[in-house]
Amino acid sequence: MSKNLEKTYNPKEIEAKLYEKWCEEKYFHAEVDRSKKPFTTVMPPPNITGKLHMGHALDNTLQDILIRYKRMQGYNALWIPGTDHAAISTEVKVTNQLKAEGIDKKELGREGFLKRTWQWKEEYAGTIEGQLKKLGVSCDWDRERFTMDEGCSNAVKEVFLRLHEKGFIYKGSRIINWCPVCKTSLSDAEVEHEEQAGHFWHIKYPIVGTERFLEIATTRPETLLGDTAIAVHPDDDRYKDIVGKNVILPLVGREIPIVADAYVDKEFGTGAVKITPAHDPNDFEVGKRHNLPEINILNDDATIVEGYGRYSGMDRYEARKAIVEDLEKEGYLVSIEEHVHNVGTHDRCKTTVEPMIKPQWFVKMDELAKPAINAIKTGELKFVPERFGKIYLNWLENIRDWCISRQIWWGHRIPAYYCDECGEVVVAREMPEKCPHCGCTHLTQDEDTLDTWFSSALWPFSTLGWPEETEDFKYFYPTDVLVTGYDIIFFWVIRMVFSGYAHTGKAPFHTVLIHGLVRDSQGRKMSKSLGNGIDPLEVIDEYGADALRLTLITGNAPGNDMRFYNERVESSRNFANKVWNASRFIMMNMEDKVISKPDEADFEVTDKWILSKVNTLAKDVTENMDKFELGIAVQKVYDFIWDEFCDWYIELVKYRIYHSDENYKSANAALWTLKTVLGNALKMLHPFMPFVTEEIYSALVPEEKSLMMSDWPQFSEDWCYADAENITDHMKEVIRGVRNARAEMNVPPSRKAKVYVVCEDEKLCEGFEELATCACPLMSASELAVQADKAGIADDAVSIVVPDASVYVPLEELIDFEQEIERLTKEEEKLTKEINRAKGMLSNEKFVSKAPQAKVDEEKAKLEKYTQMMEQVKERLEALKAGR
């Protein structure tokens, strides 16, 4: 027995209550169940550096839609939540917090600083969890993880040891990206390249023993202090005679060689380039090929090192200015030209990074990348949309060794130990009691920590108990779908894929669903600097979580950015109210009634029509969901509920409900259909709007424990009623036409008029007659007469042209003849354009030969329909003009 709903829908009252119930009942929790097929996804762990933003809201809404859908399909659905320690970002936040308190982190020491950072984690991880719950995410909170919890930390240590044992991890001096502000190394993926206005400084280097000079151009003149060669192309005839000679390094006076290397583009500039192996990755490779010295000119804070006179201690940009002045003063500066070039910046603090040679820990990527490359080529891994697979592949095919060490305290400390006596390096799970080389008992652990992405790369399997062969790991891994933004394909997705293959032998997931960014109403990226960020919690507080979720998914296409408008949130809230009010109307009319499933013979045309429509909807929405077309799926559900169900079916059956005493079977069929279709519609809407649908469904079907645990609607051949759809859709056109005609002539609804439908199709005629009683109130008709010809219809009747029929309303004195002629003349003009357009397409040989046959047939059908309607319009115009 259903129960009534409150008069108005109040999200604040129901959302927290429902979420608490879901958690108490453990509806989100999944255990190993071999009788069910698992569906697993892992939450991209938000950083513990603050509140969630609108991008997180979108990302988690998409995941929740998928997991709720799969749960209702009968899968053993597991969604693992968690947070990321976000090494550099969190360290910066805590350091700044300490500064505001007048505390230097160095004074606290490593242990003290880590203690404060763990306090930060507890506060912000809890905040994030609370925000996600407000959004309605149905993840398994019993399995919540953190990238630095004990299990994940064990997995990180195990991976480091295994990769080191296999020779994939090594320590060496190579060019790395260095952030002078955060004073740590960065991986290539953490460097954003942005266009900046700069200059090309043209400098001449004197060739030793000659009167000649070599001219080079550079965007970083300060690096000439570390030049160790000038390179030219081996096939460049201009310079063949000087290869092997030396030049004098301006301002420094050091002699450096001229070398020939194919790296040089002889067509670019002068065809001669300065080589600074310690401060440019390409120069580093050239230096290795020619055994050039590597001279570091920068301190960790990007000031010039000792040994360079007045430049020593200067900031890099201050030194640049001084060096350019001195080059000009001493006659070495040839010219300066403006130049826009790509500059690498740290994605976290936005500081321009410096390529520098430093001893760091690296992961060899050549072999590890191969299975990840093969996965996309064989289709074992796919991206939605597919175009992102090309970006993924391009990155992997050009990947360099991954610098994994970071010069910060917060993070997984590298499990490498150095003998204080002989310098032996030991990689081990715990600190060795003594050095295996010399027996010394004094060892010191490496000060560095691991790149954040080293741990999050293991997320799909470390969260399931790996490296232990747990039942969870064996059952739930590999996971199925990863949902993430296109901005972290390189950071995270690639690392997870090659890590999955390296440590489990399997891809961590089969599909990556990529979404875009949420931008403001002007299309700008949301940022603190612009002040255009929108707090999802504020939106939820004002409009409810369902309204926010519907707004984020409506019109959303995989991989595309979306714009966020408050007006759209209001529209989403209005839809929630529409669903609520329609459901309330249905349940009020079901009150105190025993409703039973009707016999097939008791169903009327409109019942069959709406059952057929919701049946097709189940099929279409399921197909869209399986293709990850979530925005299309929700639009279909939205249109069905608002238009077909609320605006048409409910209105069409009101007469039967209100006159239930006269025909109980008819009313019972209508009420059963209302309840059944509403239930199915709520099920299909539930993944998108879980709160309002749950509240309504629990009142509609109180015997079921939860909508989220109910079965997803299935397409059934038994509910395919093509004739009923055809009849009802035609009747809708009749009603719509009469309404429009009355509105155009400002006829008040209180004035009833007889409506004639002239139709030669016998089935349609029978259907119109069956629908007459329920249709008349919707078009203010006193009566509906269905006939095969115009017999008995007054010449002055207003005509309405609909497909396969003509409709006449004898309004007699109420009609303005001139106005009706004008209206039909406009209709004639409109139809003329449509007929000409269709004829034009069908006479176009290219269209007919190349377009799909279905499209050609569609145009032919339109032409036939418009031609038929035109005949009716002309006939009516002639009659009106004759009777004027």
Contact assessment for residue 376 and residue 489, using Cβ atoms and an 8 Å cutoff: no
Q: How far is CA 426 from CA 156, 430, 451, in A?
A: 17, 10, 20
SS3 556: coil
CA-based max dimension of the chain? 118
Q: What count of Cα atoms within 13 Å lies in the side-chain half-sphere of residue 142?
A: 11
For residues 93 and 692, give the distance between their C-alpha atoms in angstroms, rounded to a whole number.
Answer: 38
Distance CA 593, CA 596 (A): 10
Residue showing tokens 């242990």: 111
Other Cβ atoms closer than 10 A to 542:
15
Inter-axis angle of helices 545-553 and 54-72, nearest 10:
90
| CB count in 10 Å sphere of residue 514 | 26
Return the residue matching tokens 């269209």: 847
Write the CB contacts of 286 (distance below 8 Å, at least 6 apart in sequence). 229, 231, 259, 261, 263, 275, 277, 292
What does the block give as tokens for 79? Answer: 């969604």
Say whether 528 counts as a known binding-site residue.
yes
Partners of 179 in the beta sheet? 184
On whether the CB atoms of residues 355 and 281 are closer than 8 A, the answer is yes
Would you state the structure tokens that stand for residue 571, as one six-digit string? 């529209």
H helix or E strand, kind and range, residue 75: none
Of 632, 368, 407, the C-alpha closest to 501 is 368
Number of neighbours of residue 565 by Cβ within 10 angstroms: 12
Q: Which two tokens stand for residue 226?
A: 């570390």
Reported in sequence order, the residue ranges of 167-315 that DSSP labels E, i.e. its strands, are: 169-179, 184-186, 191-206, 213-218, 229-232, 246-248, 255-260, 272-275
Alpha carbons 561 and 325: distance in angstroms, whole number: 47
Yes or no: say if 221 and 321 are a contact pair by the CB < 8 Å rule.
Answer: no
Beta-sheet pairing, 382-384 with 511-515? parallel
- Cα–Cα distance measured from residue 849 to residue 580, given in angstroms and rounded to the nearest whole number: 50
Q: Using CB atoms within 10 A of its CB, is residue 747 exposed (0-12), middle (13-18) or buried (19+)? A: buried
Binding site for ATP, by residue number, is 528
Binding site, by residue number, is 528
